[in-house]
Amino acid sequence: MINGKRIAVVMPAYNAEETLEKTVAELTDVVDIKILVDDFSVDHTAELSKRLGVRTFTHDANYGYGRNQQTCYREALAAGADIVVMLHPDYQYTPLLVPAMAGMVASGIYDMVLGSRILGAGALKGGMPLYKYAFNRLLTAFQNVFLGVKLSEYHTGFRAFSRDLLQTLPLLENSDDFVFDNQMIAQAVMFGFKIGEISCPTKYFAEASSISFRRSVEYGLGVLATTASFALHKAGVRQVARFARRGKKLNLQYSEAGQAG
């Protein structure tokens, strides 16, 4: 708990058995709620999560990374979280930064905080493939122009959110795939939420999840489409449900994931 606010860490998981225990072990006492949503893994991620004392929910099919996050946030809000930190359980990002990121939100200055791999020049040192780094920089520069903000990157999987942001954004309008992350930032900008960043070292190794070159290209095209729809909606040329107040938001009374422990 920070400043009287309950902190939840949510972990969208798929085949994270080999790295989950290291990730959970580094979560500090400021974390009040630990939640993992298993997206129909073929290993023993869910069983291990339960043994580690994490609130565990399992999907009955592989719905995708974006849908997994929807369940993560829904369950965290239902559990009474005031601040939610999304952390991949593949140990690519250090859990030791959770208190700092949650504290930035708890201060009331920021509604969303991104753990940036680019600030501090740690991405390439941590093993990020050169083509991914190049894509990251190009897409970030492109989005900064069209979204009218200045972020060091839009593509990190380490993020902290206020409860108000998660209840306001129409997250059910977003993709079930990896571009969900990017759409969420674009929504936060559209709705006027304040976004902060913190330098975050990252590690690339065999057990860490990483999408292929083909999926990276698909993600990049999704980012371009998200940016175009943002610009069209903001200009009043076309109404896009993802950026509209009437868009579908999380329903805390509904869950497609069964609690496993």
If you average pLDDT over residues 1-8, what whole number do you get? 96
Tell me whether residue 254 is in a domain.
no
The SS3 of residue 215 is: helix
Q: How many domains does the structure of the chain reveal? A: 1
pLDDT score of 83: 98
Tell me whether residue 233 is in a domain.
yes
Domain that holds residue 224: 7-248
Tell me whether residue 237 is in a domain.
yes
Q: What is the pLDDT of residues 40-84, one digit of tens each?
A: 999 999 999 999 999 999 999 999 999 999 999 999 999 999 999
Q: What is the CA radius of gyration of the chain?
A: 17
Q: Measured between alpha carbons, how far is 53 from 251 in angstroms, rounded to an integer?
A: 26
Tell me whether residue 176 is in a domain.
yes
Tell me whether residue 256 is in a domain.
no
pLDDT score of 125: 65
Tell me whether residue 255 is in a domain.
no
If you average pLDDT over residues 85-113, what whole number do you get? 96
Q: What is the CATH number of the domain that holds 176?
A: 3.90.550.10
Q: Measured between alpha carbons, how far is 219 from 237 in angstroms, rounded to an integer?
A: 25
Tell me whether residue 149 is in a domain.
yes
Tell me whether residue 134 is in a domain.
yes
pTM for the full model?
0.91
pLDDT score of 215: 82
pLDDT over 80 (residue 209): no
DSSP class per residue in 32-88: -EEEEEE-S-SSSHHHHHHHTT-EEEEESS---HHHHHHHHHHHHHHTT-SEEEE--
Of 120-124, 170-174, 226-230, which gets the smallest average pLDDT?
Answer: 120-124
